[in-house]
Amino acid sequence: MKRKKYKGGEKKLKKKKKKKKKYKKVEEEKKKKKKKKKKKKKKKKKKKKKKKKKKKKKKKKKKKKKKKKKKKKKKKKNRKTEEEEQVKGKRREGEAEEEERKKKKEEEEKEEKKKEHKKQRA
C-alpha cells in the first residue's frame, strides 16, 4: 500500500480507490433506481394522458350529443313555427278568398244595377 502525504495526515491510496468503487456501485444503483422511477413516471404520465384523452373524447361525445339535441330542438321549433305560419297563411288565404268573393259579388250587383237602369231607360 502506497501512502501519500496530505495536510490532514497520511492517507492510504488503495482504500480511497476501493471507496470510489463502492461509491460508483452506489451511484449506478441510484441511477438504475432513478431510471426505474422515470420509467414508472413516464408510464403514469402515459396512463394519465390516455385517461385525459378518454375524458376529452367523452366530453367531445357529450358536447356532440348536446349539439345534436339542440339542433333537434331547433328543428322542432322551426317546424312548429312553419306549421303555425302555414296555418296563418291558410287563414290569410281564406280571408283573401272571402274578400275576392265579396268583390265579385259587388261587381255582379253593380252590373245588375246597370242592366236594370238600362231597362228602365229604354
Q: Average pLDDT by consecutive 10-residue portion of the chain (122 residues)?
A: 62 58 76 83 79 83 88 85 79 84 95 89 74
Q: Which residues contact 88 (CB under 8 A, 6 or more apart)?
A: none
Q: Three-state SS for 55?
A: helix
**Residue matched to cell numbers 463502492:** 22
Q: How far is CA 115 from CA 19, 34, 99, 119, in A?
A: 138, 117, 24, 6
pTM greater than 0.75 (yes/no):
no
pLDDT given for residue 25 in this prediction? 76
Distance CA 46, CA 34 (A): 18
- Residue boundaries of the structural domains of the chain: 68-97
C-alpha angle 97/98/104, rounded to 5°? 90
pLDDT given for residue 92 in this prediction? 77
